[in-house]
């Protein structure tokens, strides 16, 4: 398994080809920028290794405590942290579950102080409507970037593990033969 520094390098190495490919396919600078930023965010801070005490976990600074329940819920490299699509969706749902109560408290305090009208049902309906109609391309670009950042990490984990396994399985006959001769 590559180190956090190696994962960061891989993320940065993948950025230029990703930007080139996404601009070539979309011909849209804003969508390309959204994919690139979400890819970097996912690769550096929102990736699969939030389930252990990792570089990604440490980068959350004073907010890293919000990932403690996540770490205790998941086994490292489980399908819910390292799984294709499932890992990213699970992390997004986790963040939504963590921030929703805080947002509700914030809105309630703001209503008491400023006395404005607020309806969570209308707000949720409006957000869903915006994401499915007006900002559908942006939502898809954001999802693609988040998933590509996570998958870069997962693929490098599996390739690194496969290389280590193949190196440890290769026979070292010369050493074994010498050791067995010495014993006789």
Q: How does pLDDT run across 115-132, given as a tens digit for each residue? A: 777 777 777 788 888 888
The pLDDT score that the predictor gives to residue 184 is: 47
Backbone dihedral region for residue 61 (phi beyond 0: left; psi -120 to 50: alpha; all else: beta):
left
When divided into structural domains, the chain yields a total of: 1
Judge whether 155 lies within some domain.
yes
Taken in order 149, 49, 44, 4, is the CA torsion positive or negative? negative
CA distance 131 to 127: 6
Residue listed under structure tokens 């008491």: 112
Judge whether 183 lies within some domain.
no
Mean per-residue pLDDT over the chain, rounded: 85
Highest mean pLDDT among 13-17, 82-86, 100-104: 13-17
Judge whether 116 lies within some domain.
no
Closest to 110 measured CA to CA, from 123, 127, 92, 98: 123
CA distance 130 to 135: 6
Highest mean pLDDT among 63-77, 136-150, 168-182: 136-150
The pLDDT score that the predictor gives to residue 158 is: 80
CA distance 111 to 36: 37
Judge whether 84 lies within some domain.
yes
Closest to 14 measured CA to CA, from 4, 25, 26, 6: 6
Q: What is the pLDDT of residues 44-92, one digit of tens each?
A: 999 888 888 889 899 999 999 999 999 998 888 888 888 899 999 999 9
18 pLDDT higher than 90:
yes
CA distance 165 to 160: 9
The pLDDT score that the predictor gives to residue 182 is: 52
Judge whether 16 lies within some domain.
yes
Range of the domain at 142: 4-95+138-166
Specify the DSSP element, H or E, that contains 25.
helix 4-26
Judge whether 113 lies within some domain.
no
Classified as helix, coil or strand, 3 is coil
CA 130 to chain centre: 24
CA dist 19 → 10, 119, 144 (Å):
15, 39, 12
């Amino acid at each position: 398994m590559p180190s956090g520094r190696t994962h960061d390098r891989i993320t940065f190495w993948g950025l230029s080809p990703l930007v080139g490919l996404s601009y070539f396919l979309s011909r849209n600078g804003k969508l390309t920028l959204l994919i690139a930023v979400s890819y970097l965010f996912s690769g550096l801070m929102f990736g699969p290794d939030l389930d252990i005490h990792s570089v990604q976990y440490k980068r959350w600074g004073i907010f890293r405590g919000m990932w403690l329940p996540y770490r205790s819920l998941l086994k490292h490299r489980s399908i819910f942290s390292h799984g294709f699509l499932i890992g990213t969706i699970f992390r997004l749902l986790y963040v939504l579950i963590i921030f929703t109560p805080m947002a509700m408290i914030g809105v309630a305090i703001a209503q008491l102080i400023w006395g404005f009208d607020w309806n969570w049902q209308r707000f949720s309906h409006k957000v869903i409507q915006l994401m499915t109609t007006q900002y559908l391309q942006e939502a898809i670009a954001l999802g693609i970037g988040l998933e590509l950042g996570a998958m870069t990490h997962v693929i490098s984990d599996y390739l690194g593990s496969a290389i280590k396994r193949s190196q440890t399985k290769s026979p070292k006959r010369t050493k074994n033969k010498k050791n067995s001769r010495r014993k006789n």
